[in-house]
C-alpha cells in the first residue's frame, strides 16, 4: 500500500500544456499558449477557480485552490483531476482538493457545449 498522498493536480516547470482528466474515459490537453486568464472566487471554505483558454473554459470547484491558481500563473500547472471521495481523507490539511471539474468548449461565440464530471 502506498503512503504517498493522492494528488488531484501536478506542476512541472517544463510543461507546455495542462492535462485535464474530465473522467476515466476522457482527458483533455490544453496548451499553455492558449491560456487567457484565471479567476478565483470563494464562498466560505468552498472555492471556484475558472481557467479560460482560447478554446475552452475550465471550472474547478474545491478547497485551497490558491496554490493551483499560483501554479497556473507561472504556467507550470500540468495536471488537474477530480479527487475521488474515498481518497479525500488522505489529503494533508491545507492542500488543494478538487471536488468537481467542468469543461466548457467554445464551439463558436454564441454556442457552448458542456461536459461535466461530478
- Assess if residue 8 is contained within a domain: no
**Predicted local confidence at residue 89, as pLDDT:** 67
pTM score: 0.81
27 occurs within a structural domain = yes
Residue 69 lies in a domain: yes
Instruction: List, in order, residues 6 or more apart from 19 with CB less than 8 Å away.
Output: 27, 28, 29, 78, 79, 80
State the DSSP code for 55.
Answer: S
* Structural domain count, the chain: 1
What is the residue range of 21's domain?
A: 17-109
Is residue 65 situated within a structural domain? yes
Q: Per-residue pLDDT tens, the chain, 118 aa: give them.
A: 334 444 788 999 999 999 999 888 999 999 999 999 999 999 988 999 999 999 999 999 999 999 999 999 999 999 999 877 666 566 667 788 899 999 999 765 344 444 444 4
pLDDT value of residue 69? 97
Helix ranges restricted to H, the chain? 66-73
Amino acid at each position: 500500500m502506498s503512503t504517498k498522498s493522492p494528488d488531484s493536480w501536478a506542476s512541472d516547470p517544463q510543461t507546455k500544456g495542462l492535462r485535464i482528466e474530465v473522467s476515466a474515459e476522457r482527458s483533455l490537453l490544453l496548451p499553455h499558449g492558449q491560456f487567457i486568464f484565471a479567476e478565483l472566487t470563494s464562498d466560505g471554505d468552498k472555492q471556484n477557480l475558472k481557467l479560460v483558454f482560447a478554446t475552452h473554459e475550465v471550472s474547478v470547484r474545491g478547497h485551497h485552490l490558491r496554490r493551483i491558481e499560483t501554479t497556473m500563473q507561472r504556467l507550470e500547472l500540468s495536471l488537474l483531476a477530480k479527487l475521488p471521495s474515498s481518497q479525500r481523507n488522505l489529503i494533508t490539511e491545507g492542500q488543494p482538493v478538487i471536488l468537481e471539474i467542468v469543461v466548457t468548449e467554445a464551439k463558436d461565440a454564441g454556442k457552448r457545449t458542456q461536459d461535466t464530471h461530478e
